[in-house]
Chain A
Amino acid sequence: MAFVDYYQILGIGKNATEKEVKNAYRKQARKFHPDVNPNDKDAQKKFQEINEANEVLSDPAKRKKYDQYGKDWKHADQYEAAGQRGPGAGRPSGGQQTYSGNFGESDFSDFFSSMFGGSGRQSRQSSFKGQDFNAELRLSLRDVYTTQKQTITVNGKNIRLTIPAGIENGQTIKIKGHGAAGINGGPSGDLFISFSIANDPEFKRVGNDLFKNTEIDLYTAILGGEIQIDTLSGKVKLQVKPGTQNGSKVKLKGKGFPVYKNESQFGDLFITYSVIIPTDLSEKEKELFIELSQLRK
């Protein structure tokens, strides 16, 4: 486990006064407070670090212990009990421990709780909202066409979710109170679920509108006719106008995506026609096309 330099976290020197610690903490907290940095995971992590640094450096007893033992702070009480004055003089009776390896987000809390968890001094501590959790839910476009209920498991807890139809890729919803427990009696953090909605091979979505390519044969494009297309709400019959050009678009009103949290309203579906030119003409067809082309001359 790497050494965490609380002074560096707060951006102060080792000789900083209590007032300087307080000012540095306030300055950093204003910058990284989760309420002023919504959906910013980095800011949340930084805020947690700042809080931990402040909890230690704003308390003279904890700060003294931290200053004296540095990375070996964990055994400060044991060193003192053994009458020893530092890590170089020996090891506590619990056996040698090394501090190396990754120092991840969860380790940071362990670091903090193991150092001061049992100290019982709460008088200088402020209460703070717990850390927010972030999760990602992957769904298909068709999944989010209708409102659906899902149960997800976060940190061993099952959470029942209602996902409103029309939610967008990248959108985040907040589940209040399902984050980490509050610090010193503060409220629990929140759970932020961001949605990753996979592209659909058939439909493209822009806002509440859907876009789809539909192939029509040459004769339907020239003469017009009726075709049947698939929409997300079922099959629809469509009249193709005579003389329809390749790439032309038609709008099917209300056949797009439901409006988020307003399921009675829908966007539109835009159909782009791709006219398929036949490539395997029979001799008879070739003759007829030549005849047709001569009529145009």
Chain B
Amino acid sequence: MTEENLISAHEFCVYHNIGHSFILHLKEYGLVETITLEQIDYIPSEQIEKLERILRIHRELEINLEGIDTIDHMLQRVDLLQQEVIQLKNRLRLYEDID
């Protein structure tokens, strides 16, 4: 049996001073995943960083959920492209080394 670290959605909302509905909306948009156990919502610990980033974008830049969804998608593409650039640069190093 595997163990998973979960954080209560309620605790997260209190800490960040947000309503629970915000988490539910993000879930509807597929931006975060929550786990419900005995009618209590939990957030997997690996989702916290992403959730906090979304919260900052929402608050500091006043971006609505549609915008956050788009940004999230674009950031994933940026991340993939950055990885590809790294791999291509490393492959290029093989040829640059040849005398």
Q: Chain A residues in contact with chain B, CB under 8 A?
A: 26, 29-30, 33, 35-36, 38-39, 126, 128-129, 168-171, 176, 187, 199, 204-207, 211
Q: Is the interface of B mostly helix, strand, loop or mixed?
A: helix
B18: min CB distance to chain A, Å: 15
Q: When the two chains form their complex, are residues B57 and A206 in contact, meaning their CB atoms are under 8 A apart?
A: no
- Quick one: which of B57, B85, B91, B97 contacts A33, CB cutoff 8 A? B57
Q: Is B90 an interface residue (CB 8 A)?
A: yes
Within 47-93 of B, Cβ neighbours of A (below 8 Å) are at 49, 52-53, 56-57, 60-63, 71, 75, 78-79, 82, 85-87, 89-91, 93
Q: When the two chains form their complex, are residues A29 and B94 in contact, meaning their CB atoms are under 8 A apart?
A: no
Task: Give me 22 A-to-B residue pairs in the complex whose CB atoms sit less than 8 angstroms apart, sorted by A's number.
Answer: A26-B61, A26-B62, A30-B61, A33-B57, A33-B61, A35-B57, A36-B71, A38-B75, A38-B79, A39-B82, A126-B60, A168-B87, A168-B90, A169-B86, A169-B89, A169-B90, A170-B89, A170-B90, A176-B49, A187-B52, A199-B93, A204-B94
Q: Chain B residues in contact with chain A, CB under 8 A?
A: 49, 52-53, 56-57, 60-63, 71, 75, 78-79, 82, 85-87, 89-91, 93-94, 97
Which residue from chain B places its CB closest to the CB of A171 in the assembled complex?
A: B86
Q: When the two chains form their complex, are residues A29 and B86 in contact, meaning their CB atoms are under 8 A apart?
A: no
Q: When the two chains form their complex, are residues B86 and A211 in contact, meaning their CB atoms are under 8 A apart?
A: no
- Quick one: which of B49, B75, B91, B97 contacts A36, CB cutoff 8 A? B75
- Quick one: which of B60, B91, B97 contacts A128, CB cutoff 8 A? B60
Q: When the two chains form their complex, are residues B93 and A29 in contact, meaning their CB atoms are under 8 A apart?
A: no
Q: When the two chains form their complex, are residues B86 and A168 in contact, meaning their CB atoms are under 8 A apart?
A: yes
Bound Cα distance A199, B60 (Å): 42
A64: min CB distance to chain B, Å: 26
Q: A30-B61, A126-B60, A170-B89 are in contact. List 16 more A-B contacts (CB 8 A).
A: A26-B61, A29-B61, A30-B63, A33-B57, A33-B61, A35-B57, A36-B61, A128-B60, A129-B56, A168-B87, A169-B90, A170-B85, A205-B90, A206-B90, A206-B91, A207-B87
Q: When the two chains form their complex, are residues A33 and B60 in contact, meaning their CB atoms are under 8 A apart?
A: yes
Bound Cα distance A30, B89 (Å): 30
B79: min CB distance to chain A, Å: 7
Contacts of A176 in B (CB 8 A): 49
Contacts of A26 in B (CB 8 A): 61-62
Contacts of B52 in A (CB 8 A): 187
Contacts of B71 in A (CB 8 A): 36
Bound Cα distance A39, B62 (Å): 22
Q: When the two chains form their complex, are residues B94 and A38 in contact, meaning their CB atoms are under 8 A apart?
A: no
Bound Cα distance A207, B84 (Å): 11
Bound Cα distance A204, B92 (Å): 11
Contacts of A199 in B (CB 8 A): 93, 97
Which residue from chain A places its CB closest to the CB of B49 in the assembled complex?
A: A176
Bound Cα distance A231, B65 (Å): 51
Bound Cα distance A38, B97 (Å): 30
Q: When the two chains form their complex, are residues A206 and B94 in contact, meaning their CB atoms are under 8 A apart?
A: yes
